Amino acid sequence: MFHTIYFSAVVFLFGLVVGSFNNVAIFRIPESKSLWTPRSFCPQCGKTIVWHDNLPLLSYAILHGQCRNCHESISARYPLVELITGLLYLAVFAKCGFTWKAELLPYLFMVTVLVIVSVIDIQMQIIPNKIIYPAIPIGLAAMGIVALVRGDGNIILRSLIGFAIGAVPLGLLALLIPKGMGMGDAKLAAFTGIFLGYYQAIALFFGFLLGSILGILLMVLGGKGRKSRIPFGPYLAAGALIALFWGPAIWDFYRNLF
């Protein structure tokens, strides 16, 4: 019991640190800036942030959401991204446990990419190729390593099938209805399919369902028109997370209906 609590705390804290890096990626990748240099700085006054003002969650609370130098407000997005990443890391650890023979590290990589891509898509309505293009081969390599360690070649087959389930239908939609679906969405679905395999179909179902429901709500509330472009990446990400954590249970429930 103690070891479980200890490792859970370590994984959560590690997720917070990765969440801090995610914020750097979200800010710098769309602007084609280096992820490593210069050190983190305030986007308002440009002053370098000292290490003790850059502690995930804690620094935001201690500084009351303000820059120490210029006292401008710090976006709540920063602690939110850190917290979401930490919670997702904890959830993946709860699902997989601490074993190298499970998909722990690949799944952690997947949720990291989903957080970064979702926030960028919400802010800028783009899914950067600079993230997706390297993420896809890394994902395939990661699942390939899992297949080798476990001696199960079917893992690679499922990854390739999941890749196709994500890439083909959304890619066709992007070609046929370019104003309704972006090719970046197809690439993102292909990426998540690598990790989800057959359950990528469940991810797409819930992604479209959530996107339709929230899109209708926005139109009803007057926030969007029928021709307004809505970032679809976060819905695909939400669908992928549903499939990741509850895919087998959902599939068994569906099969038991018949």
Q: What is the DSSP string of 16-46?
A: HHHHHHHHHHHHHGGGT--SSSS--B-TTT-
Compute the distance between CA of residue 84 and CA of residue 88 in angstroms, rounded to an integer: 6
Are 93 and 134 in the same domain? no
Is the distance from CB of 222 to CB of 118 less than 8 angstroms? Answer: no
Are 119 and 196 in the same domain? yes
Are 84 and 153 in the same domain? no
Are 149 and 254 in the same domain? yes
Q: What is the pLDDT of residue 2?
A: 62
pLDDT along the chain (258 residues), means of 10: 80 95 94 85 82 87 88 91 97 85 90 98 94 97 93 94 96 84 93 97 96 83 65 95 95 86
Are 144 and 227 in the same domain? yes
Whose tokens are 């407000």? That residue is: 73
Q: What is the pLDDT of residue 115?
A: 98
Are 73 and 120 in the same domain? no
Are 88 and 180 in the same domain? no
Are 139 and 258 in the same domain? yes
- The residue out of 69, 98, 127 marking a domain boundary is 98
Are 74 and 146 in the same domain? no
Could you tell me the two tokens for 154? 């079917």
- The residue out of 55, 73, 98 marking a domain boundary is 98
Are 202 and 223 in the same domain? yes
Q: Which residues pair with 73 in a beta bridge?
A: 66
Residue ranges making up the domain that contains 183: 99-258
Structurally, the chain folds into a number of domains equal to 2
Are 55 and 122 in the same domain? no
List the end-to-end C-alpha distance of the chain, in Å, as a whole number: 40
Are 85 and 171 in the same domain? no
- The residue out of 98, 122, 157 marking a domain boundary is 98
